[in-house]
Amino acid sequence: MPIINTALPFAFPFEIEKTALIVIDMQRDFLEPGGFGETLGNDVSLLAPVIPATAALLKAARGVSMRVLHTREAHKADLSDCPTSKLDRGAPDLKIGDEGPMGRILISGEPGADIVPELAPVSGETVIDKPGKGAFYGTDLVQILGNWGVTHLLFAGVTTEVCVQTTMREANDRGFDCLLVEECTGSYFPEFKTATLDMIRAQGGIIGWTAELEEVKRALEKENG
């Protein structure tokens, strides 16, 4: 059984067949200029290093045929799944549903809602659109994971303290053992990433584990012979 001995707060053993990699919201709308992230006033270039790191993690997971699921934060074209509490937050130049340089902001099927090409899902991988920050809210995620029979989840994606942390907390409450791969997540606020990694693994792993990409790759590649 693979084990990540250097995971924090302590070693993380997992079975490939009972583990899925969940890649959260690696979309053009968060990672490229002109999307939702930038309209909120953020410097999207801060997230750029997450792309090659997550590509390396995906390669390692695919190499052992681990289940992979991608999420996209994206709303219905009529915005019926976007509450005003979300639509009205902040003072963005462009709000959710407005026409931007990559199509309508954060709307399913628009170019901006696409996953960045470097991390495009491959055949056999699952993609879900989610209306909220947590991937379990308003989606079939819990049924999908139940059908797969997985008990452990590896996490990557953006942003660390918003959609990634929310989803990890939801997963933890539903009984999954969760590990966040450090280089494969990022925030527009580097100090929020640091704080989130700390709070996930504090108190004996109150939410889950964290580990460095090289150590996760080592555990997977060892399994691959």
Catalytic residue list contains 130: yes
Catalytic residue list contains 18: no
Query: In sequence order, which ranges of 100-189 are alpha helices (DSSP H)?
Result: 141-148, 165-173
Q: How far is the CB of 161 from ligand TIU (least distance, A)?
A: 7
Catalytic one of 82, 95, 129, 163: 163
Please say which residue, 163 or 171, places its beta carbon nearer to ligand TIU. 163
Q: Is 175 left (phi over 0), alpha (psi -120 to 50) or beta?
A: left
Return d(Cα 79, Cα 214) in angstroms, integer. 41
Residues 89-148 that bind ligand TIU (CB under 6 A): none
Contact assessment for residue 130 and residue 86, using Cβ atoms and an 8 Å cutoff: no
Contact assessment for residue 139 and residue 146, using Cβ atoms and an 8 Å cutoff: no
Please say which residue, 4 or 168, places its beta carbon nearer to ligand TIU. 168
Return d(Cα 108, Cα 219) in angstroms, integer. 35
Catalytic one of 95, 130, 133, 193: 130
Distant-in-sequence, close-in-space partners of 219: CB < 8 Å, separation ≥ 6: 2, 3, 4
Catalytic residue list contains 114: no
The alpha-carbon radius of gyration of the chain (Å, integer) is: 17
Which member of 19, 54, 159, 185 binds ligand TIU (CB under 6 A)? Answer: 159
Residues contacting ligand TIU: total by CB under 6 A? 9
Q: How far is the CB of 2 from ligand TIU (least distance, A)?
A: 28
Q: How far is the CB of 163 from ligand TIU (least distance, A)?
A: 3
Q: Does 158 bind ligand TIU (CB under 6 A)?
A: yes
Q: Which amino acid is at 159?
A: T
Return d(Cα 37, Cα 55) in angstroms, integer. 21
Return d(Cα 155, Cα 152) in angstroms, integer. 10
Q: Among 62-70, 156-164, 177-185, 198-206, which window interacts with ligand TIU (CB under 6 A)?
A: 156-164
Please say which residue, 20 or 162, places its beta carbon nearer to ligand TIU. 162
Distant-in-sequence, close-in-space partners of 62: CB < 8 Å, separation ≥ 6: 68, 122
* String of contacts with ligand TIU for each residue 28-67, x by CB under 6 A: --x---------x---------------------------
Which member of 2, 16, 25, 104 binds ligand TIU (CB under 6 A)? Answer: 25
Query: In sequence order, which ranges of 106-174 are alpha helices (DSSP H)?
Result: 141-148, 165-173
- Residues binding ligand TIU (CB under 6 A): 25, 30, 40, 73, 158-159, 162-163, 188
Catalytic residue IDs: 25, 130, 163
